[in-house]
Protein backbone atom coordinates (compact mmCIF):
# COMPACT_ATOMS: atom_id res chain seq x y z
CA UNK A 1 0.00 0.00 0.00
CA UNK A 2 1.05 3.58 -0.39
CA UNK A 3 3.25 5.21 2.18
CA UNK A 4 1.54 8.52 2.79
CA UNK A 5 -1.46 9.96 1.05
CA UNK A 6 -1.55 11.02 -2.58
CA UNK A 7 -2.78 14.47 -3.55
CA UNK A 8 -6.31 13.67 -4.66
CA UNK A 9 -9.62 15.47 -4.90
CA UNK A 10 -13.08 14.01 -4.65
CA UNK A 11 -14.45 13.61 -8.20
CA UNK A 12 -17.94 14.55 -6.96
CA UNK A 13 -17.39 17.71 -4.89
CA UNK A 14 -13.67 18.49 -5.45
CA UNK A 15 -12.98 18.37 -1.69
CA UNK A 16 -9.56 17.35 -0.43
CA UNK A 17 -11.06 16.22 2.90
CA UNK A 18 -10.42 12.53 2.19
CA UNK A 19 -9.78 9.53 4.43
CA UNK A 20 -7.58 6.83 2.90
CA UNK A 21 -7.78 3.09 3.41
CA UNK A 22 -8.06 -0.15 1.46
CA UNK A 23 -10.59 -2.65 0.21
CA UNK A 24 -10.75 -5.65 2.56
CA UNK A 25 -11.11 -9.42 2.12
CA UNK A 26 -8.24 -9.72 -0.38
CA UNK A 27 -9.99 -7.77 -3.12
CA UNK A 28 -7.38 -7.12 -5.80
CA UNK A 29 -7.20 -6.03 -9.41
CA UNK A 30 -6.22 -8.75 -11.84
CA UNK A 31 -5.62 -7.78 -15.50
CA UNK A 32 -7.87 -9.63 -17.94
CA UNK A 33 -4.93 -11.30 -19.71
CA UNK A 34 -3.34 -12.61 -16.50
CA UNK A 35 -2.51 -16.23 -15.89
CA UNK A 36 -3.81 -18.17 -12.89
CA UNK A 37 -0.72 -17.54 -10.73
CA UNK A 38 -0.13 -13.95 -11.88
CA UNK A 39 0.43 -11.17 -9.39
CA UNK A 40 -2.67 -9.35 -8.20
CA UNK A 41 -2.65 -5.62 -7.51
CA UNK A 42 -4.01 -4.50 -4.11
CA UNK A 43 -6.73 -1.88 -4.29
CA UNK A 44 -6.38 1.35 -2.30
CA UNK A 45 -9.47 3.36 -1.40
CA UNK A 46 -10.68 6.68 -0.06
CA UNK A 47 -13.89 8.20 1.19
CA UNK A 48 -14.75 11.90 0.95
CA UNK A 49 -15.61 13.16 4.42
CA UNK A 50 -17.67 15.99 2.92
CA UNK A 51 -20.02 14.20 0.47
CA UNK A 52 -19.46 10.50 1.23
CA UNK A 53 -18.11 9.50 -2.19
CA UNK A 54 -16.16 6.23 -1.99
CA UNK A 55 -13.44 5.75 -4.57
CA UNK A 56 -10.73 3.21 -5.25
CA UNK A 57 -7.46 3.25 -7.15
CA UNK A 58 -4.14 1.47 -7.55
CA UNK A 59 -1.12 2.78 -5.69
CA UNK A 60 1.35 4.63 -7.99
CA UNK A 61 3.96 1.85 -7.58
CA UNK A 62 1.38 -0.75 -8.62
CA UNK A 63 0.40 1.30 -11.69
CA UNK A 64 4.07 1.55 -12.68
CA UNK A 65 4.46 -2.20 -12.20
CA UNK A 66 1.37 -2.82 -14.34
CA UNK A 67 2.70 -0.52 -17.09
CA UNK A 68 5.77 -2.73 -17.31
CA UNK A 69 3.61 -5.74 -18.22
CA UNK A 70 2.99 -6.59 -21.84
CA UNK A 71 -0.25 -8.26 -22.95
Checking if the pLDDT of 67 tops 70, the result is: yes
Closest by CA to 23, choosing from 6, 53, 45, 41, is 45
Taking the complete model, does pTM exceed 0.85, yes or no? no
Q: What is the pLDDT of residues 15-65, one digit of tens each?
A: 999 999 988 777 888 778 777 777 788 889 999 999 999 999 988 888 888
Provide DSSP, 1-65. Answer: --SS------TTT----EEEEE--TT-EE--TT--TTPPPEEEEEEEETTT--EEEEE-HHHHHH
| Domain boundaries defined on the chain | 18-67
Cβ-Cβ contacts under 8 Å for 15 (sequence gap 6 or more): 9, 48, 49, 50, 51
Amino acid sequence: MATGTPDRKCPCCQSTNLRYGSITDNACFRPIDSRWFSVNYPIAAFVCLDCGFLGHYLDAAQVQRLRGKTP
